[in-house]
Structure formats: C-alpha cells, structure tokens
Amino acid sequence: MSTTTDLAVPSLAASVRPTVWRHGLAAATVASVVTTTLAAVASAAGVSFADGSGVSLPVLAFTQLTFVFSMLGVVLAAVLARRARRPRSTFVRTTVALTVLSVVPDATFGFDVASALILMALHAVAAAIVIPVLARRLVRNAATPG
C-alpha cells in the first residue's frame, strides 16, 4: 500500500511577496503604538490636546484613530493592487494627499499651537510608518490590462 502526501505548495509569488493585509496590519499596529507613546510623552510634558471648547483628546484615542485610519489605508492599497494600472504611485500620491488633508482639522478646531503642531506631527509619523510599508507591497502588483 503506497501513500502519497499532497502538500499545498504556495506559489513563488505568494511566498516571496507577503500580502498587503499582513504587512498593513503590522504597520497599523506599530503606527498606533508609536503615536500613542508620543502623545503620552507630549501630554506628560504639558501638551493638553484640548480643543477650543476645552474637551481634551484622551491618549487612547490616538491608538484607535491611528489604527482605524491606517487600516483604511490598507483597504485602499488592496483595492489599488487589484484595480490600478500603477498601484504604487497611485497609492503614494493618494495617501500623501490624504495625510496633508488630515492635518486641516488640527489647524482649525481651536487647538493651542503646541497641541496643533504635535497633532500634525503625529499624522506625519503615522504616515511615515504605514505608507512606505504598503507601497513596497505594491511594487510588483500592477493590474493586467483586461
């Protein structure tokens, strides 16, 4: 009696180039930890993160918001990987523009100067962590003409 074992062998492309999702989740997690840590340090140094009405952002809001918006970036990367002719450049241009737009509320919601500048810097820090990780996943993911 002869037995054979069928092993599922992943394709070379799948084993060499891990998914956008896995790397995106890791980058979102790292960005969330880093922004939360920096916000806690800033808060301990006296930055209030209070808007014009006196309502202050809790430190854990940085974790939640960074993670949620980073995961939206992962979804965008996954969609562009399947649909865009040049997914990497489209992703980078789009996410950089969205990052610039994301700082508008920091400048307009009545935060003091220190709070606004730290908030803007935290947007840039999160983007600097997440965007390159996802962009690297999109290098070889050009959509085929169809």
Q: Residue 36 to residues 22, 32, 58, 80, 94: CA-CA distances in angstroms? A: 21, 6, 10, 29, 25
- Can you give the residue range of the structural domain that contains 66? 18-137
Contacts of 115 (CB under 8 A, 6+ apart): 47, 48, 49, 50, 106
Specify if 13 maps to a domain.
no
Q: Is residue 122 part of a domain?
A: yes
Would you say residue 71 has pLDDT above 90? yes
Answer for the pair 77, 90: CB distance below 8 angstroms, yes or no: no
Q: How many distinct structural domains can be found in the chain?
A: 1
d(CA 98, CA 93): 9
pLDDT in tens, 53-66: 888 999 999 999 99
In a domain, 77, yes or no: yes
Q: What percent of the chain is modeled with pLDDT above 70?
A: 82
The residue with greater pLDDT, 45 or 8, is: 45
> Using CA atoms, how far apart are residues 37 and 94, in angstroms rounded to an integer?
27
Instruction: Tell me, yes or no, whether 8 lies in a domain.
Output: no
Q: Is the pTM of this model over 0.75?
A: yes
Q: Above 80 in pLDDT, residue 4? A: no
